[in-house]
Structure 1
Amino acid sequence: MSSAWLQHGSNQITINLRQTATFNGVLRDSLTLRAPLVRDIRNAQRLTSDETEREMQLFASLAEVSVSELEGMAWRDYRRLQEAYFRLAADDDAAGGPIAPAHATAG
């Protein structure tokens, strides 16, 4: 499933924003998330037990922006960010892709 507002790469996903926003001092019309690492998830969990704050910390880390900059986004663009994250972090099997490395052999 693809959307016109998403550009999906193997280790990142770019979200076209409906409303420009400032990130790292630059007015932008898109935001890119890199694929999460276990370390990113663990760091977000260590910072807070609040689920919303944890999500914001994780997204900020993956986009290399601040939480306050994410808070300044239009709500509908933040919802796009959430959807993009879940597509990026989805298990390959759930997305219909391979679950074993290409060099694996059937036993």
Structure 2
Amino acid sequence: MTQVTGNTETTPLPSWIVLTDSGAVITLKHPVELNSVKVNKVNMRAPCVRDTRAAAAAANGSAEAHELHLFCSLIEAGKDDLDRMTQRDYRRLQEGYFRLVEEDEL
């Protein structure tokens, strides 16, 4: 039998994510060009319902396209910019996004 304890500690943030009042700053492993500027940090704003709805409408049912549209909106970059990211850095964006939308008091 497994006993469930009342451990409510949240997983600590990785050193490459800094949460702010308006979003997250994500440090990339490899610099990338966003909007014709080479950066090693990305500012991701917290999503609102409008962002999610617009991404869903543009994605036409594709979960992958939905996420790409949403991330482009939240970091104010184009799809081609995201396509040039390493998979590792894209995963950092995903982690940053999930940190922004998770409920911190559950």
1:75 to 87, 93, 100: 87
- Give 5+ residue unaligned stretches, structure 2: 1-11
AA aligned to 1:55 is E
1:1-107 equivalence runs, <5 A: 1-48=12-59, 49-94=61-106
The 4+ residue runs of structure 1 with deviation greater than 4 A are: none
AA aligned to 1:75 is Q
Q: TM-score, normalised by structure 2?
A: 0.85
- Give 5+ residue unaligned stretches, structure 1: 95-107
Q: TM-score, normalised by structure 1?
A: 0.84
Measured on the aligned residues, the alpha-carbon RMSD in Å equals 0.8
Name the SS for the 1:73 alignment partner. Answer: coil
Rounded to whole Å, the distance in 1 between the matches of 2:90 and 2:43 is: 12
**How much does 1:91 deviate?**
1.8
AA aligned to 2:28 is L
Q: Percent identity?
A: 36
